[in-house]
Amino acid sequence: MDSESRDLKPVFEPRSVAVIGASNNPTKWGCIILANIVSYGFRGKIYPVNPSEEKILGIKAYPNVMSVNDEVDLAVIARPAEAVPQHIEECAEAGVKAVIAIAGGFRETGKEGEELEKESVRRARKGGLLLVGPNTMGVYSASVNLCALMPPVSPRKGEVALISQSGNIGTNLLGFGSTVGVGFNKFVSSGNEADIECYEYLAYFGSDPNVKVILLYLEGVRSGRKFMRVAEEVSEKKPVIAYKSGRTQAGVRAAKSHSGAMISPNEIVKAVFKQTGIIQATTVNEMLDLAKSFVNLPLPKGKRVGILTWGGGYGVVASDVFEEAGLDVVSLSDDTIRKLSMLLPPYWSKGNPVDLVGVFDRSIQPSCLDIIAGDLNVDIVAALGFIVGSGAFAGAFGGQTHSKEGKNIVKEWIAKADEESMEYIVKLISKYGKPLVAVTATTDMEVVAKAAEKGVVVYPTIETAASVLSKMVQYAKHKKRKEEGRL
């Protein structure tokens, strides 16, 4: 861990949590957050705090945090901004180690709020407390089943950590992650970062052995140098993937950072990220595709791609898109061509992409994939249409002329074949130690999530595949350079 970064264990692995402002009124955040903590099954003790209730959600309540007769590691303050400094003081008195200040109404709203924020930080630091936020949607930690979040999100568990400077985008990514099969180990909506800044979360997740990949949604970074140093250190150990907004005047205005110095045009973001080894996500959602890929795939040893396609047109598109992304749609070895020619009709393309020219026999596809993956010229294998998904077909068969029963039969048949294909992909990845990915035009997120559970990466578009794979190649190169530099 970075020497200047504090140990954030009380935030992410508390043994006990108090909810200050807990409530039985389901329209209050103090009720919703407590309900989320309880229903997700937090492994430690829970202490609702509210002077006017005896029990909240059936749990014994305390008039204030000092009256809790136990060590409290973490307190969630679900009270208005004006009340926060006072509650922090009480937490300090009670020996609480960390607080999460949910409410907005601080620096982001003007002078008065800024004062409140400064006062909160002052009291937290004086009391030796860690302060998350203010103006945050909360934290999540799979290690202790802590789901202290405002929105009713139920994250899937996994090996990804996410730091988000937007609560909305962060919790949406958690929710969308469930849909597409990306699991999280830790999450923080870092809010105004009045006390704990981005770089401290990054350092903490960097040395957390349960975290394999770190995602960042950034609007601005305060301690730039520290951030860069930590990012450089951490990204040597594990991939750090960031989406940086505030790249235009309009974006900065929207982020309400009134300092003109805070605009970071994309060229500058790119340069800083390149230097520190941070992987830049092109879109917010691409963060999930990148996360899934780094979690499930071995790093590519080079940029040479072998493509298997069921349809010629998509092979052409993939060749263009992969090349334009900086990958190399390489010539296959003579041996590979010879082996494939024994399986495919005489009029096959005899080149890369390997076009199955509409051969219906699905049993040929795995063998072709095996041959391509075994080619020494190939670092990465992309299979188009190998995982089908029922989405495209649901559309195709969606007309008036096809029956619901018939559609379900087709759907189940496709799902079964897809499952076999997934198992085959997993086998080939471990056989050759190369990233092997699938691209499908499906809108069926079930197949995407099921694939992710099995450790198989399915991209919804060729463009996503190309962008993610080229970033994996860049990261692998960066890491290798760093390792060689250290010798």
- What residues numbered 68-97 form the site for a second copy, per CB under 8 A? none
Total residues at interface with a second copy (CB under 8 A): 86
356-375 footprint of a second copy as x/- string (CB under 8 A): -x------------------
Query: Which residues 6+ apart lie within 8 Å of 397 measured at CB?
Result: 406, 407, 410
- Is 401 a binder of a second copy (CB under 8 A)? yes
Q: Counting contacts by CB under 8 A, is residue 145 touching a second copy?
A: no
Are the C-beta atoms of 23 and 73 separated by less than 8 Å?
no
Q: How far is the CB of 387 from a second copy (least distance, A)?
A: 15
Query: Measured between alpha carbons, how far is 407 from 399 in angstroms, rounded to an integer?
Result: 10
Task: Tell which positions 420-459 bind a second copy, by CB under 8 A.
Answer: 441, 443, 445
Residue 255 φ/ψ, nearest 5 degrees: -80, 0
**H-helix or E-strand spanning residue 458:** strand 458-459
For a second copy, the closer of residues 246 and 374 by Cβ is 246
x-marked contacts with a second copy along 8-37 as a string, rule CB under 8 A: ------------------------------
Kindly state whether residue 298 participates in binding a second copy, applying the rule CB under 8 A: no
User: Which residue from 64, 285, 333, 367 is in contact with a second copy, where contact means CB under 8 A?
Assistant: 285
Nearer Cβ to a second copy (254/268)? 254
Peptide bond into 134 cis (omega under 30): yes
Task: Based on the shown chain and the rule CB under 8 A, indicate whether residue 166 belongs to the binding site for a second copy.
Answer: yes
Q: Which residues 99-118 are close enough to bind a second copy by CB under 8 A?
A: 104-105, 109
Q: Choose the stretch contacting a second copy; rule: CB under 8 A; options: 122-130, 204-212, 240-248, 370-378.
A: 240-248
Kindly state the smallest distance separating residue 360's Cβ from a second copy, in Å.
9
Count of beta carbons in the 10 Å neighbourhood of residue 90: 21
Q: Is 398 in the site for a second copy (CB under 8 A)?
A: yes
Query: Which CB atom, from 63 or from 406, has the smaller least distance to a second copy?
Result: 406
Rounded to 5°, the CA angle 257-260-265 comes to: 95
Residue 246 interacting with a second copy (CB under 8 A): yes
Strands 279-280 and 328-329: unpaired
Residue with tokens 């090996």: 159
Stretch that binds a second copy, among 252-260, 273-281, 429-437, 470-478 (CB under 8 A): 252-260
- Of 141, 133, 152, nearest to 77 by C-alpha is 133
Strand partners, 124: none
Given a contact cutoff of 8 angstroms between Cβ atoms, the answer to whether 231 and 202 are in contact is yes
Selected from 161, 372, 463, 468, the binder of a second copy by CB under 8 A is 463
Query: What is the torsional sign of CA 170, 152, 95, 127?
Result: positive
Q: Which two tokens stand for residue 221?
A: 């970074």
Alpha carbon distance 449, 369 (integer Å) = 22
Q: Which two tokens stand for residue 395?
A: 């559309």
Burial class (CB in 10 A: 0-12, 13-18, 19+), 282: middle
Kindly state whether residue 248 participates in binding a second copy, applying the rule CB under 8 A: yes
Stretch of 198-206, 291-299, 307-315, 428-436 contacting a second copy, by CB under 8 A? 307-315
Q: Among residues 225, 347, 403, 484, which is the contact residue for a second copy, using CB under 8 A?
A: 347
Binding mask 32-61 for a second copy (x = CB under 8 A): -------xxx--------------------
179 binds a second copy (CB under 8 A): yes
Q: Cβ of residue 299: shortest distance to a second copy, in angstroms?
A: 23
**Does 289 engage in binding with a second copy (CB under 8 A)?**
no
Q: What is the DSSP string of 62-86?
A: BSSGGG--S--SEEEE-S-GGGHHH
**What whole-number distance in Å separates Cα of residue 238 and Cα of residue 233?**
9
Is residue 158 involved in binding a second copy (CB under 8 A)? no
Residue 296 CB, shortest distance to a second copy, in Å, is: 19
Query: Is 377 or 397 the residue whose CB approaches a second copy more closely?
Result: 397
Query: Is 254 among the residues that bind a second copy (CB under 8 A)?
Result: yes
Q: Give the residue from 97, 101, 71 showing the smallest Cα distance to 10.
A: 97
In whole angstroms, give the CA distance from residue 476 to residue 478. 6
CB of 353 to a second copy, least distance (A): 5
Pair of tokens at residue 120: 């909160």
Provide the minimum distance between the beta carbon of 465 and a second copy in the complex, in angstroms, as a whole number: 12
470 lines the binding site for a second copy (CB under 8 A): no
| Residues 447, 418 contacting (CB under 8 angstroms) | yes
